[in-house]
Amino acid sequence: MLEAGAVITLEAASYRLREPLAGSAYGIVWCAERLPAGPRVALKLINRQQMARAEPGQRARWIASANQEIAFLRSLAPWDERHLVRLLDCGVYLGLPVMALELLDGDLGKHVARERALGRVIPFAQALDWLAQVNQALAKVHQYGWRYLDLKPSNVLFEARRGSVKLADFGTNRRLADRSAHSYAGTANWQAPEQFFPGAAQGYLTDARSDYFALGAMFYFLVTGGLPLRFCRDCGQAYRDHQAGGATMLRERHGGAIPATLMEDEAALFLARIAGLDRTGGAQDATWCAAGTARAAPALALTLLRSLLSADPGARPPHAIAISRMIAGIRAGANSANSADSADSADSAASKAEQRSYA
């Protein structure tokens, strides 16, 4: 069992473990310091205790996933590491692959939870900026010929100094060129319908647009201060209760149909949070609460959300550029509204001054 103080030697250097940062059935991440006196890194290892209990086939898949992640990160050009976590070193420890990754300030899910606990709402402008960054990260994954299939807040790392985010954890990547049905992959709480509900051949037919559904779920999560979509929550619960069979159980509850991916009350809450009309999550950013913004940016944002969350992959945006254009449109709508509000305020002030001059 790993303990603080243990030293692990990889290809380029040795690292002393300090404290665990995160863990799952698949892997565990430690904060570690490079020896003799180097910077701290995030050391990602396969969860050895789970490996000991897993079936041989599962063990082989975990090792293959780790090696695939290392190969993917090694293939990146330096400029593509702007929105993707950097691989600093790698190697083998006790027969299992290990990665040393750049250490950031935690994940986006924990950051949003902290802000919510403090009664603060993520400003819509910030949420939109993070959405754009994650979209660019997905564009890079797709550019290199992969679909990501595990987008969720805990896989988006947060850098406080710059206020930026980076995508991490690439063990579930699947080749875009392979269009055949594949086995279950990803996290049920953040999956597109085609990724959670198997097709007729009992496999899952996904592509790059499956990542865009998860991007929409994250958009809703950020705007609402950490609330999950009901569709995603129900899929997650069904999987916890029945594993892969949860998809069948959930469809039976809905008369054989796939549940709605966005409910109307959820759309209304999304609009209200952007317009600053819903105060349950704390004070909103005043820049995005003007009457003009309530007419412009929220409607455009909801159009993007509905497009990303379409149950039909064919109705989702076809590529990252289309999403970037929609985000630019939302920003332009907000800026236009704010400019109009400023002009109205100036006209009102001038009118009052004119009235005083005649008094």
pLDDT at 149 over 50: yes
3-state secondary structure the chain: CCCCCCEEECCCCEEEEEEEEEECCCEEEEEEEECCCCCEEEEEEECHHHHHHCCHHHHHHHHHHHHHHHHHHHHCCHHHHCCECCEEEEEEECCEEEEEEECCCCEHHHHHHHHHHCCECCCHHHHHHHHHHHHHHHHHHHHCCEECCCCCHHHEEEECCCCEEEECCCCCCEECCCCCCECCCCCHHHCCHHHHCCCCCCCECCCHHHHHHHHHHHHHHHHCCCCCCHHHHHHHHHHHHHHHHHHHHHHHHCCCCCCCCCCHHHHHHHHHHHHCCCCCCCECCHHHCCHHHHHCHHHHHHHHHHHHCCCCHHHCCCCHHHHHHHHHHHHHHHHHHHHHHHHHHHHHHHHHHHHHHHC
| Among 128, 188, 194, 136, residue whose Cα is nearest residue 166 | 136
Tell me the pLDDT band of 336, cut-offs 50, 70 and 90. low
pLDDT value of position 337: 53
**pLDDT single digits (tens) 133-147:** 999 999 999 999 999
Output the pLDDT for position 14.
97
Per-residue model confidence (pLDDT) at position 208: 97
Q: Is 338 a residue whose pLDDT tops 90?
A: no
- Residue 358 pLDDT greater than 50, yes or no: no
- Domains of the chain, by residue range, sit at 7-102, 108-343
Torsional sign, CA 149, 153, 155, 156:
positive
Of all residues in the chain, the percent with pLDDT exceeding 70 is 88
Task: Say which residue, 344 or 86, is predicted with more confidence.
Answer: 86
Question: Would you state the pLDDT for residue 278?
Answer: 52
Q: Residue 344: what pLDDT?
A: 45
Confidence bin at 174 (pLDDT 50/70/90): very high
- Give every CB contact of residue 340 below 8 A, 6+ residues apart in sequence: 292
pLDDT exceeds 90 at position 119: yes
Distance (Å) of CA 310 to CA 187, 217, 347: 19, 11, 43
Percentage of residues in the chain having pLDDT higher than 90: 72
Q: pLDDT category, 277, cuts 50, 70, 90?
A: low
pLDDT of residue 2: 86
Q: Do 108-343 and 7-102 fall under one CATH topology?
A: no
51-102 pLDDT, tens digit per residue, is 888 888 888 988 999 999 999 999 999 988 889 999 999 999 999 999 999 9
**Domain 108-343 in this protein, CATH class:** mainly alpha
For residue 343, pLDDT over 60 is answered with no
Q: Compute the distance between CA of residue 340 and CA of residue 131 in angstroms, rounded to an integer.
A: 26
Q: What's the mean per-residue pLDDT of the chain? A: 88
What are the CA-CA distances from residue 213 to residues 206, 210, 255, 261 (Å)?
Answer: 11, 5, 23, 10
- Name which CATH class applies to 7-102: alpha beta
pLDDT at 23: 81
